[in-house]
């Protein structure tokens, strides 16, 4: 399986009207294209969302995950969405084993449902909800290198039919959306990101580990201090990619800034 870093949009953006009306159409079309781009149907999806941080890697262990409507101020119907995909307890056990083999701590959360970084993009990409899903947390430390190491421990899952998805946003400065001054900044960081993921793994991972400095001013302007949780799912899937090269496979300019998806094959 490849590993993917996908944009999950703004709240329930794919299920409501926007001005302009087509603001998120290209992103939705990209998400819908994912299943056909895969070598086979996934046995399961392991998803790392920018909306779950924990002190140590934490595996979602809920038997029947509910949905966390962790967005605010959207139309009432967006709080009635459903995504009844099955959980993936066997993959959860395998993730625990892999983390332990890498001498990484692991915890479980038997109560937490899927946040909108999970169910919103998956509802678009896999609308039949017939692929088991497991969510794994990010780390509260926001340490970039630690997230790459976390991903590296998960690499064997690719050969076991598990699709590893990092769900975030390549640009996530909320003040920048709709601000013309942010367009050049977002484009500069997006360009750096595309160059970086295409490098051989050692250089790629070194640059990603030092992203805030290596990307120049555009990096922090695109992901402000202590708000980079939407970028770090990329670090996890880059680590899980091993020696596979990455490439931007989708880019669109939404509300004045560039957002991209990355794939490692």
Q: Could you list the residue range(s) of the whole structural domain that residue 228 is in?
A: 3-264
Checking if the pLDDT of 61 tops 90, the result is no
Per-residue pLDDT band for 19 (boundaries 50, 70, 90) equals confident
Residue with tokens 């595309």: 194
pLDDT tens-digit readout, 124-164: 999 999 999 999 999 999 999 999 999 999 999 999 999 99
What is the distance between the alpha carbons of residues 6 and 234, in angstroms, rounded to a whole number? 8
CA nearest to 161, candidates 5, 70, 39? 39
Q: What percent of the chain stands above pLDDT 90? A: 95
26: CATH: 3.40.830.10
Return the number of other C-beta atoms located less than 10 Å from residue 140's C-beta. 11
Read off the pLDDT of each residue in 239-246 and give the average, rounded to a whole number.
Answer: 97
What does the alpha-carbon distance between residue 121 and residue 7 come to, in Å, rounded to a whole number? 8
* pLDDT of 164: 98
pLDDT at position 226 is 86
Look at the chain and report how many structural domains it folds into. Answer: 1
pLDDT digits (tens, 9 = 90+) for 150-207: 999 999 999 999 999 999 999 999 888 989 999 999 999 999 999 999 999 999 999 9
Alpha carbons 231 and 260: distance in angstroms, whole number: 11
């Amino acid at each position: 399986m490849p590993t993917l870093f996908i944009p999950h949009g703004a709240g329930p953006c794919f299920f409501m009207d926007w001005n302009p009306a087509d603001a998120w159409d290209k992103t939705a079309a990209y998400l819908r294209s994912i299943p056909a781009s895969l070598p086979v149907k996934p046995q399961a999806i392991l998803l790392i969302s920018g909306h779950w941080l924990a002190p140590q890697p934490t595996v979602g262990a809920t038997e029947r995950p509910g949905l966390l409507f962790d967005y605010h101020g959207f139309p009432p119907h967006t709080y009635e969405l459903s995504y009844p995909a099955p959980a993936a307890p066997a993959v959860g056990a395998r993730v625990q084993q892999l983390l332990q083999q890498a001498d990484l701590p692991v915890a479980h959360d038997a109560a937490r449902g899927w946040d909108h970084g999970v169910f919103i993009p998956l509802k678009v990409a896999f609308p039949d909800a017939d692929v088991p899903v497991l969510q794994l947390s990010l780390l509260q430390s926001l340490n970039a290198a630690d997230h790459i190491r976390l991903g590296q421990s998960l690499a064997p899952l690719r050969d076991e039919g598990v699709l590893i998805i990092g769900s975030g946003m390549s640009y996530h400065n909320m003040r920048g959306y709709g601000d013309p001054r942010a367009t050049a900044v977002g484009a500069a960081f997006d360009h750096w990101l595309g160059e970086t993921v295409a490098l051989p793994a050692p250089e790629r991972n070194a640059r990603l580990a030092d992203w805030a400095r290596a990307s120049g001013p555009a990096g922090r302007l695109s992901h402000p201090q202590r708000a980079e949780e939407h970028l770090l799912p990329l670090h996890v899937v880059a680590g899980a990619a091993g020696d596979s090269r990455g490439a931007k496979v989708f880019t669109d300019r939404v509300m004045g800034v560039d957002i991209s998806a990355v794939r490692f094959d």
